Amino acid sequence: MKTTIDVSPEVAQNAPVNPRRRVYRPNTKYIPILATLILLVAMYLGGVANLAHFDEPSVVVNLFRDNAVLLVVAVGMTFVILTGGIDLSVGAVISLTTTLTATLLQGGWPPLVVLPLVLVLGALLGAGMGAVIHYFKVEPFIATLAGLFLARGLALFINQESIPIRDELWRTLSDMRIPLAEGVKTTPIAVVALVSVLIAAGVLAWTRFGRNVYAIGGSADSALLMGLPVARTRVLVYTISGFCAALGGLLYTINSTSGHALQGAGTELDAIAACVIGGVLLTGGSGYVFGTLLGVMVFGLISTIINFQGNLNSAWTRIVVGILLFGFIVLQRLVTRRAR
pLDDT at 13: 44
Q: How far is CA 308 from CA 59, 177, 190, in A?
A: 10, 23, 21
CA-wise closest residue to 294 among 69, 35, 119, 105: 35
Residues composing the chain? 340
**What residues have CB less than 8 Å from 103, skipping those under 6 apart?**
158, 159, 163, 259
pLDDT at 333: 78
3-state secondary structure of 61: helix
- CB–CB of 73/93 below 8 Å? no
pLDDT at 8: 45
pLDDT at 288: 94
- pLDDT digit string (tens) for 228-243? 999 999 999 999 999 9
pLDDT at 313: 75
DSSP 214-235: HHHHH-HHHHHHTT--HHHHHH
Residue spans of the chain under pLDDT 50: 1-24
Instruction: Give me the sign of the Cα torsion angle 168, 169, 174, 179.
Output: positive
Task: Please tell me the distance from the alpha carbon of residue 295 to that of residue 226, in angstroms, as a whole number.
Answer: 33
- The full set of domain ranges for the chain reads 28-47+56-339
Which CATH number is associated with domain 28-47+56-339? 1.10.3470
- Strands 258-259 and 163-164, bridge-based pairing: antiparallel
Exposed e or buried b for every residue in 123-151, given b needs 16+ CB within 10 A?
A: bebbbbbbbbbbeeeeebeebbbbbbebb
Task: Please tell me the distance from the alpha carbon of residue 285 to that of residue 288, in angstroms, as a whole number.
Answer: 10
3-state secondary structure of 175: helix
